[in-house]
Chain A
């Protein structure tokens, strides 16, 4: 009797645990609202409210996604600002996977935070639908100082003529290489200013033949960056400036060139020169990847990841610019806004919010905390300061140098992605992976992407 009762209780407990487990499994990480800034700032709430930030106890709500490191550094930087400027902040940080779900829900309830960290793919939707405001006014009145950034550098921040956000920093793409393996194979570091994809493949072959060490498939999970670099080497952008089409869709030379590169990728996979796609798609953390464990010679990646991979490898990876298509006419390199700071239309005191953004992008103390986490700063003073600062790691400095080098080759920053681009990019990714798995050839992939993109991108 007693035993049965205990069992029943245990089972009930298990059931309850089951319910909670289900709950935590299906629901995403909830938005954590940080405690109101520092004690000092909290004490000053009234003054802040008096100075114009009404409602919500005068706290400026700032939302971002990111790692714990980013959360800590951002909070520290903003707390320092709060202490000096008689404002209070409330922080709403989230993981990447649930950030935009939360934002969309908040926008339905007219409850968007005041300052938003925004991605290049999502900014178009928020700007077009009037959820984030045009910041031009605050640039003009000096609340956001762009004197050290330059108007050209902000070219990527406009959506339909409105300054939808301010770039937090730029990043770019790179071929990261392991110098030790190059040395082991006895190959020289190539001149990356004018190299072609075929030359990249032969280099990978040479290294593989001499050492048995493979190279990673170019951007298997983000085909867009691979294709974009190839397309741009013909002197055209991936998406048209109005975002309604692929400007190169009718140019058979471009699509044939990209298709050829994709077929080369498959050929190298077959030969063992490139890592098996099944293996690459099985990786879930930096530590799993071959480049971070010294098991591959080269890897396409975003420049802001190089530091992280170098850290795991325990040695600085070298950085090369991406090769162009074989018959490409120019460098396919480009820089992207890593992300943006935006002000939501829900913000009651945009002037105060604009000043906070100004602090985040222009203040040296803030930059020392945030470093290159949100991309390489566009502010030349901050770039110089970081290049000299001892607390900046050697790999971060190398990234800084690399972005400077790329900046000298490319003009301006890529515009934000057009509406519906996320879906079109997903089609490209699927098609490219089908090529890597040998389910399709390069021509199939490009034909399908071009026809699908035509129906996915907004028609006007």
Chain B
């Protein structure tokens, strides 16, 4: 009996060790996998189908073909406006955020006992910035009688613009909040900076290179893969900006802060046009895909990997060697 059972167990083990390992693996990623299927894959395809439907969530969807897409491009003024605002937002805030993140990362890339504390301090806005509370706070900071104007008055600049409800400055308030949340690209930059071997800098300083030259000739090229990664991630995040615009201005004044995701949300949940909202979401996905592809395609021109350099050196050495011989 005992023998037999141990045998079968042994057989089972022997026959499917691979399968068992796989099964164990699936077991561990199971929770994620189930959630991923339920909350990403299924909605992903459902939204594609719904984008071709008239769907108000209260009754069954009806198929309308390309109607939603045609309407978006031909009738909807706010669609075009929100798209332009989002592009403006992304093209202004993402470069500034990355530059800011890089500058702070470089400042923090020093051996000082205070650095870890600063790192946390500078990361804090990223934690807080996405929250509703900070967006509400932002309203008060940039209101007419807000902290920002009081500060300006204190240092002798008279100012009584209501920044969040002025049609020209409102978007900048949101851009500023977005830039302020530079924590996660900063951490990634910092990790990248730590990866650069000190020997390069030592060699450069022996050769008499100044700080500016070392930055542009060593730091920046070696950091370009990190820059590439950050750019892609931040750009995708930038296109999806939502909560800040919703809470600080709710799209106003005069729809000048009606970013794409906010307009999509209003269509889908405010006006019961889920099908239309899905169509908008797919257009956004195509736009994000396009820009991501653009960055990927262009990357060969400006992203350098360290192994490229060593390969290059190797070739040069070989050539020199060849000449000598």
Q: Please give the residue numbers on chain A whose beta carbons come within 8 Å of chain B beta carbons, in ascending order.
A: 3, 7, 10-11, 14, 17-18, 21-22, 24-26, 100-101, 104-105, 107-108, 125-126, 129-131, 276-284, 288, 420, 422-423, 426, 430, 433-434, 437, 439, 455
Q: Is B236 an interface residue (CB 8 A)?
A: no
B263 vs chain A, min Cβ distance (A): 11
Listed by A's residue number, 11 A-B pairs whose Cβ atoms lie within 8 Å are A21-B128, A24-B132, A125-B56, A278-B144, A282-B144, A282-B164, A282-B165, A284-B143, A423-B270, A430-B255, A437-B254
Given the complex of chains A and B, what is the CA–CA distance between A24 and B134 in angstroms? Answer: 12
Given the complex of chains A and B, what is the CA–CA distance between A17 and B183 in angstroms? Answer: 13
Within 8 A of A (CB), among B96-153: 116, 119-120, 123-124, 126-128, 130-132, 136, 139-140, 143-144
Q: Is B59 an interface residue (CB 8 A)?
A: yes
Q: Is B282 an interface residue (CB 8 A)?
A: no
B144 and A14 within 8 A (CB): no
Q: Is B271 an interface residue (CB 8 A)?
A: yes
Which residues of the other chain, A, contact B139 by a CB distance below 8 angstroms?
282, 284
Given the complex of chains A and B, what is the CA–CA distance between A114 and B75 in angstroms? Answer: 39
A100 and B269 within 8 A (CB): yes
A422 and B271 within 8 A (CB): yes
Given the complex of chains A and B, what is the CA–CA distance between A380 and B184 in angstroms? Answer: 61
Which residues of the other chain, B, contact A288 by a CB distance below 8 angstroms?
143
Which residues of the other chain, A, contact B192 by a CB distance below 8 angstroms?
none
A11 and B161 within 8 A (CB): no
Residue of A nearest to B126 (CB): A18
B240 vs chain A, min Cβ distance (A): 10
Q: Please give the residue numbers on chain B whose beta carbons come within 8 Å of chain A beta carbons, in ascending order.
A: 56-59, 75, 116, 119-120, 123-124, 126-128, 130-132, 136, 139-140, 143-144, 161-162, 164-167, 183-184, 187, 242-243, 252-255, 266, 269-272
Main SS at interface, chain A: helix
Residue of A nearest to B246 (CB): A97
Which residues of the other chain, A, contact B59 by a CB distance below 8 angstroms?
129-130
Select which of A26, A107, A282, A439 is within 8 A of B58 by beta carbon. A107
Residue of A nearest to B164 (CB): A282
A25 and B131 within 8 A (CB): yes
Which residues of the other chain, B, contact A131 by a CB distance below 8 angstroms?
58
Given the complex of chains A and B, what is the CA–CA distance between A125 and B144 in angstroms? Answer: 39
B130 and A26 within 8 A (CB): yes
Q: Which of A10, A277, A278, A284 has the most CB of B within 10 A?
A: A278
Given the complex of chains A and B, what is the CA–CA distance between A279 and B75 in angstroms? Answer: 33
Taking A104-B57, A437-B167 as contacts, is the C-beta distance between A10 and B120 under 8 angstroms? yes
Which residues of the other chain, B, contact A278 by a CB distance below 8 angstroms?
144, 161-162, 165-166, 253
Given contacts A18-B127, A420-B271, A423-B270, 17 further A-B contacts (CB under 8 A): A7-B116, A11-B123, A14-B124, A18-B126, A21-B130, A25-B132, A108-B57, A125-B272, A130-B59, A277-B165, A278-B161, A281-B252, A282-B139, A284-B140, A433-B254, A437-B253, A455-B75
Which residues of the other chain, B, contact A280 by a CB distance below 8 angstroms?
165
B164 vs chain A, min Cβ distance (A): 6
Given the complex of chains A and B, what is the CA–CA distance between A105 and B274 in angstroms? Answer: 11
Which residues of the other chain, B, contact A21 by a CB distance below 8 angstroms?
127-128, 130-131
Q: Which 7 A-B pairs have the closest CB atoms?
A: A281-B165, A129-B58, A129-B59, A282-B162, A18-B127, A278-B162, A7-B116
B143 vs chain A, min Cβ distance (A): 4
Select which of B127, B143, B242, B270 is within 8 A of A17 by beta carbon. B127
Which residues of the other chain, B, contact A277 by a CB distance below 8 angstroms?
165, 253
Given the complex of chains A and B, what is the CA–CA distance between A423 and B131 in angstroms? Answer: 28
Given the complex of chains A and B, what is the CA–CA distance between A439 and B57 in angstroms? Answer: 36
Which residues of the other chain, A, contact B116 by a CB distance below 8 angstroms?
3, 7, 10
Given the complex of chains A and B, what is the CA–CA distance between A282 and B167 in angstroms? Answer: 12
Which residues of the other chain, B, contact A101 by a CB distance below 8 angstroms?
269
